[in-house]
């Protein structure tokens, strides 16, 4: 199976609460069944946009991998202006908790796949290019708020 962009749905409320999503300011994100996420349910990996704290980049996304949240900062890619038929996703920072650090290669692959699914929802006829401007960082943070 691959990532799909879909509504969370009432059937995923327990999973949502178990993951413990929080916004960029670490406030709990309450369950809302009409909220949308990128999900690969077979692998148990979910990505959710969590917002921005200003009107400019970065935008923050969280990826739940083994029910542990990885924080992602997405920056603005100047190639998005003026190149028709392409969407460029620039990943500026990836913060992977130490508890899942050993899976960092798979996590980065999941990040790429989830951004492709996310962008294809809005730009179905465009090629999506995801590039990392960083190496992932190992952190002790617990973005789940546990």
The pTM of the whole model exceeds 0.85: yes
Count CB neighbours of 54 within 10 A: 6
Paired sense of beta strands 137-139 and 86-97, if any: parallel
pLDDT in tens, 94-127: 999 999 999 999 999 999 999 999 988 887 778 8
Integer CA distances (angstroms), 12 to 29, 48, 68, in order: 14, 14, 16
- Three-state DSSP class for residue 146: coil
Nearest CA to 6 out of 85, 90, 120 is that of 120
Q: Is the pLDDT of residue 57 over 70?
A: no
How sure is the predictor about 53, in pLDDT bands with cuts at 50, 70 and 90? low
Using CB atoms within 10 A of its CB, is residue 99 exposed (0-12), middle (13-18) or buried (19+)? exposed
| Average pLDDT estimate for 85-91 | 89
| Top-confidence residue, 93 or 53 | 93
């Amino acid at each position: 199976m691959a990532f799909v962009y879909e509504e969370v749905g009432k059937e995923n409320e327990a999973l949502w609460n178990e993951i413990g999503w929080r916004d960029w300011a670490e406030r709990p994100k309450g369950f809302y069944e009409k909220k949308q996420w990128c999900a690969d349910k077979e692998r148990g990996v979910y990505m959710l946009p969590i917002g921005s704290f200003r009107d400019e980049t970065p935008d923050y996304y969280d990826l739940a991998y083994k029910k542990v949240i990885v924080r992602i900062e997405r920056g603005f890619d100047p190639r998005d202006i003026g190149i028709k038929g392409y969407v460029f996703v620039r990943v500026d920072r990836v913060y992977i908790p130490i508890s899942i650090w050993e899976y960092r290669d798979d996590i980065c692959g999941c990040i790429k796949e989830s951004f492709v699914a996310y962008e294809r929802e809005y730009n179905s006829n465009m090629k999506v290019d995801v590039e990392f401007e960083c190496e992932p960082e190992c952190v002790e943070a617990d973005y789940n708020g546990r």
